Amino acid sequence: MLTRREFLKYSVVALPGLQLTACGGDGSTPQTVAWPITRDVFTTAEQQIHPQGLPADTPLIDPPDLPYSQYGYSAWQTGPGLAHVKRTDLAPGYSGAPKVARLLSFFAITDIHIADKESPAQPLYIGWSARYGAPGSCGSAYSPVILSTTQVLDAAIQTVNALHKKSPIDFGISLGDDTNNSQYNELRWFIDVLDGKRIAPSSGAHIGADHIDYQKPFQAAGLDPAIPWYQVVGNHDQFWMGSAYENAKTWSAHVGSAILNMSNSPDPSSGGVNGSGYYMGVVDGANPYGFVIGSGPQGAFSTPPTVVADPARRSLATSTSSTLNWMREFFETTSNPPGHGFKQSNLDADFACYSFEPKANMPIKVIALDNTMKGADQTEYARACLDQTRLDWLKAELQDGQDRDKLMIIAAHIPLYPQKTFDPAAGNYKLFTSPSVVTDLQLLAILHTYPNLILWISGHRHVNVVTPQQYNGADPADQPEKNFWEVETASLRDFPQQFRTFEIHRNADNTVSIMVTNVDPAVSPGSPAAKSRAYAVGAARIFAANDSVRADTGSQAYNAELVQQLTPRMQAIIAGL
């Protein structure tokens, strides 16, 4: 375990004026490896991943005290499956009728946060220098899970393929935050993993690519070609660390050699990324634990620390658009469909919303909604926002689905009113904020006027939460078809590192059941993805607001059967399906 003194040695004292360059190797191309998953693949309904609990007197460790195996911080084990909770909150007319037909099956991944850990434009020092119990914003700045984000995604896609062989999946969708810091190379790694390309998960000098497991080039398995996949935009896909509009300083930091100098806080009131005083550092790819180097107070350095620059680190955002270049990359793909939901019209209008119908013989429509903040000089880039153009488009799409007798699903990055720990006085979790033309409550009122809307799915908060969105908060017996379910899915970055499967079934009484099931990606022992799971368990305990997390052995999964009541017209339409 690193002591605080050793931490300072690695982060500051050893590095003044040092140019960080490649270590070892003969300059030849590193050998490409593969990271196959285990043969047995399970959903959490069959088997769960549980952290092993820690006694109350367990010594505290800090973020740089890698590899988190000390005192059992990173220990996990498998346990019995988690049953689906049957939720009939929104269907008072449900008779208990059994499921008789599966209408649609899909998977959703979200908040993958593919990270270029060697980029000089990231705020690692904020998390690396934190102490036990630091707030979650520090863990967002740095967690050792950033070492292996591409390998975790590859394991998740291999798991999807295995599930597809057991029971066919109609399509997949990413709910945003594919990238961690809006970089070109991060997005290419994401798309190339799904395309099944060779991935070189390093940048700049490619330090350690010839001998460090998380740095080695690997052959991604790729998503089964029979499964089309679609894309939603997130805040990290557009903005510096998902929280600040890119500007001259951040654009230069992405592609330059100078390690970012900013304040030691992401809070704009203290300077944030536009402040100064601390070098943020990079991961040392030659170190098996990925220590952060080139970081610390500015005064500790005689000359600024640098790395080898890499143009592939460029931000996809420009001064005029945060989404246009990002959308263009989804046309550079070998998997289906081209554009992954986006069309040329999206590029022409610089508009990241679209809809699609996943099965020609099924009356179901998916609405992919960009509900992220837009424009420079905003204060809440991690919050939700709809301008008038996007709100009008959403209402038109919903009306179209209503008029054409389609059951509808909205897929967005940021959720609506979440269910848990809402405090009206504090305004917690009012995610739609100025300059949005609607608040959460106003948008909910609009959504409840379209009875064919059955589901809103999102990511963003890195949690598994199911919220019954009840029409006007009235008695469920009052027009229950105007109710709908909201399902949030956890992140592939942070514990529990899960994705979800969704199955929509017709019941014998012509209600529908939406089966939502979490999945832990299958991993092989010793692989970067397996090590990332251990890091995620440890980081969840270290970056926590209270010590109760150390004793928590919960899987953080939530599986449910969500029963939805339909209008008499839609009941008749689906009766024969």
Q: Which residue has the tokens 């955002």?
A: 317
Tens of pLDDT, residues 81-135: 999 999 999 998 888 999 999 999 999 999 999 999 999 999 999 999 999 999 8
Judged by DSSP in three states, 507 sits in strand
Contact 347, 215 (CB under 8 A): no
For 572, the 3-state DSSP assignment is helix
522-547, pLDDT tens digit by residue? 999 999 999 999 999 999 999 986 77
More confident residue, 50 or 425: 50
Whether the predicted pLDDT of 6 surpasses 80: no
Q: Is 99 helix (H, G, I), strand (E, B) or coil?
A: strand
pLDDT-derived band at 12, boundaries 50, 70, 90: very low
pTM across the whole model: 0.94
Segment 17-38 shows an average pLDDT of 68
Q: Is the peptide bond before 67 cis (omega within 30 degrees of 0)?
A: yes
Confidence check: pLDDT of 39 > 90 = yes
**DSSP label of 42:** -
Determine contact, residues 149/218, Cβ cutoff 8 Å. no
Question: In whole angstroms, what separates CA 377 from the centre of its chain?
Answer: 25
Report pLDDT for 544: 85
pLDDT at 185 over 50: yes
pLDDT, mean over the chain: 92
Residue 480's pLDDT band, with cuts at 50, 70 and 90, is: confident
What's the whole-number mean pLDDT along residues 42-59?
Answer: 95
pLDDT band, very low/low/confident/very high, at 548 (cuts 50, 70, 90): confident
**Phi–psi pair at 336, nearest 5 degrees:** -110, 155
Give the pLDDT band of residue 249 (cuts 50, 70, 90).
very high
The boundaries of the domain holding residue 124 are 4-574
Question: 401 is written with which tokens?
Answer: 């689905």
Q: Does pLDDT of 20 surpass 60?
A: no
Q: Looking at 312-321, 350-359, 424-433, 492-501, which range is the least confident one?
A: 424-433
User: Residue 97, class by beta-carbon neighbours within 10 Å (0-12 exposed, 13-18 middle, 19+ buried)?
Assistant: middle
9-18, 396-405, 566-575: least confidently modelled range? 9-18
pLDDT band per the 50, 70, 90 thresholds, residue 411: very high
Residue 11's pLDDT is what? 45
Residue 15 clears pLDDT 70, i.e. is over it: no
Which DSSP string corresponds to 369-417? E--B--SSS-S-TTSB---HHHHHHHHHHHHHHHHTT-EEEEEESS-SS
pLDDT value at residue 476: 57
More confident residue, 570 or 375: 570
Residues linked to residue 206 through DSSP beta bridges, in sequence order: none
Once rounded to an integer, what is the mean pLDDT over residues 404-412? 98
Q: What is the pLDDT of residues 462-474, one digit of tens each?
A: 999 999 999 875 5
Q: How many structural domains is the chain composed of?
A: 1
Query: What tokens were used for 130?
Result: 């934190």
Residues 364-378 have pLDDT tens digits of 999 999 999 998 888
Q: What is the pLDDT of residue 426?
A: 54
The CATH number of the domain holding residue 330 is 3.60.21.10
Judged against a pLDDT cut of 80, whether residue 199 lies above it is answered with: yes
Q: Given the DSSP bridges, would you call strands 407-412 and 364-369 parallel, antiparallel or unpaired?
A: parallel
Confidence of residue 212 (pLDDT cuts 50, 70, 90): very high
Q: Characterize 138-177 residue by residue with b for buried, 16 or more Cβ atoms within 10 angstroms of its Cβ, and e for exposed.
A: bbbbbbbbbbbbbbbbbbbbbbbbbbbeeeebbbbbbbbb
Integer CA distances (angstroms), 217 to 179, 199, 456, in order: 19, 5, 37
- Please spell the DSSP secondary structure of 174-209, one letter per residue: E-S--BSS-BHHHHHHHHHHHHT-EE----TT-TTT
Q: Give the residue, 377 or 10, on which the prediction is more confident.
A: 377
- pLDDT tens string 337-362: 999 999 999 999 999 999 999 999 99
